[in-house]
Chains A and B, each alone.
Chain A
């Protein structure tokens, strides 16, 4: 819950979810909304400025930037959703479960993830892509973001609460207790956790793609589109700015939807 005034915090979260919903609809309808199929080239109109026919202009191969941005947004969203899934399962969920394991095993896992957390998530994701291939970029981004989520979830578990003693005293099986604990832990914050994970992994996925470790042509995500626009964005600004704005908008909506507390990073 944000420490802004509750009304402002709720409004911002609502705006974030509304924006995310609109962007998701746009992603699902990208093939229908785009003027041209992904990667379609129009020879003779390379690097033309925004016009009525091409509202976002064309790139160095004559591709319609609006269509490419829509297809790129869909690809970024697809990768980010898979990556968020892996980040939540291997990070937050595993961290909450690991904290309840026998103490020596729990502390060993906490130490391992603490060490992995000392490596920037982007670098960890790049190494995993290098080891496994570009196809696994979503998994790599999820694993890259997981250590910090694991540590956060692990440290939040209060094993010394009197409720824990009462629950154990009832004689309920451990797995049922775990299921109950996880339900209580995640029931009210699942939406925020998903949005927070989306914000974090989208930055990792798009940056990895920008550096050449993400999506591979013909599938181009926003990071790869911006990387291709890098060499001529001084003269043809539209090739980079529209995909860049779409990427920032997606991350911003996810951050707002997460309702991050003050001073909290995704």
Chain B
């Protein structure tokens, strides 16, 4: 157990350090761009020196320090990710568990292929169309919508991006669940437990389900990747002011300082989610999940 934890912590530290180096290397591509490798390496060194003094640079668009800009835009995105994750679990868990067992698992495979073949932006536009035409909600895709007049309207405006992110997350959750279920379907402990006299229900409830949930938790990094990708698209489609939307604008306007900081935040989120998922999954079943 100690060895496993030490290895995970080492992986976490190396991952975060590598992501920070990648971000520094990206932020050194400023305008005017360094024309040669030595010039670029000098720019990287300069960035590292500034970083050691706690200076992460300024945004080329707003002129504000990138950290201040990030803290201004990050909360709406984190809120969107958290709400999306809640929807993903609420929708993905029942679907995943329902399709995780026996014949339903085999029958569901082709259906899930069709669902997961839909790009997130197509799903977002379809949701917007449904909300506008069927529910008659005020959906603004052409331009930025102003402040909501009432809490009810604010909820409606927030619902579509959350649903888009949540659906993408739900697809990732049910994939992780079904993968774990497939792994346990052939597990050798089933036969042994049956010979010990346990019923099928007892085996599923007390031995298989914890394995499946541990598999889901261990896939936290993969689910975080799906949620972040979907948040980028959802914020763009529904004109939400968040870090993901800021990322797209920063790349388009070659604001590499800002891009690098957001990219580091995203990578750190995924790396930490992977770490926590692997550790919690291990603690749940006392074995390392693949």
Residues on A lying within 8 angstroms of B by beta carbon are 2-5, 8, 12, 111-112, 114-116, 118-123, 126-127, 129-131, 199, 203, 206-207, 210-213, 223, 226, 230-231, 233-234, 237, 240, 244, 247-248, 251-252, 255-256, 260-265
Contacts and interface: CB of A to CB of B under 8 A. Distances in A.
Contacts of A207: 119-121, 233
19 contacts: A5-B106, A12-B110, A111-B14, A118-B267, A118-B271, A120-B232, A123-B263, A127-B259, A130-B259, A226-B122, A234-B129, A234-B133, A244-B122, A248-B118, A251-B118, A255-B116, A262-B181, A263-B177, A263-B179
A264 B179 contact: yes
Contacts, number: 146
A199 B237 CA distance: 22
A71 B259 CA distance: 33
A106 B175 CA distance: 30
Contact of A126 (B105, B121, B251): B251
Contacts of B222: 265
Given A119-B270, A255-B117, A265 B229 contact: no
Contacts of A131: 29
Contacts of B236: 211
Contacts of B120: 207
B18 A111 contact: yes
Contacts of B232: 120, 122-123, 211
Nearest to A252: B117
B229 A122 contact: yes
A8 B107 CA distance: 10
B132 A234 contact: yes
B22 interface: yes
Given A207-B120, A265-B175, A119 B266 contact: yes
B285 interface: no
Given A211-B236, A263-B180, A265-B222, 17 more contacts: A119-B267, A126-B251, A210-B119, A213-B251, A230-B142, A233-B141, A234-B141, A237-B129, A251-B119, A252-B113, A252-B117, A256-B110, A261-B182, A262-B109, A263-B179, A263-B181, A264-B175
B257 interface: no
A233 B29 contact: no
Contacts of A244: 122, 125-126
Contacts of B242: none
A247 B228 contact: no
Nearest to A155: B290
B248 interface: yes
B221 interface: yes
Given A123-B232, A255-B116, A118 B221 contact: yes
Contacts of B179: 262-264
8 closest A-B pairs by beta carbon, nearest first, are: A263-B179, A263-B178, A115-B18, A130-B251, A252-B117, A120-B229, A251-B117, A118-B270
Contacts of A247: 119, 122
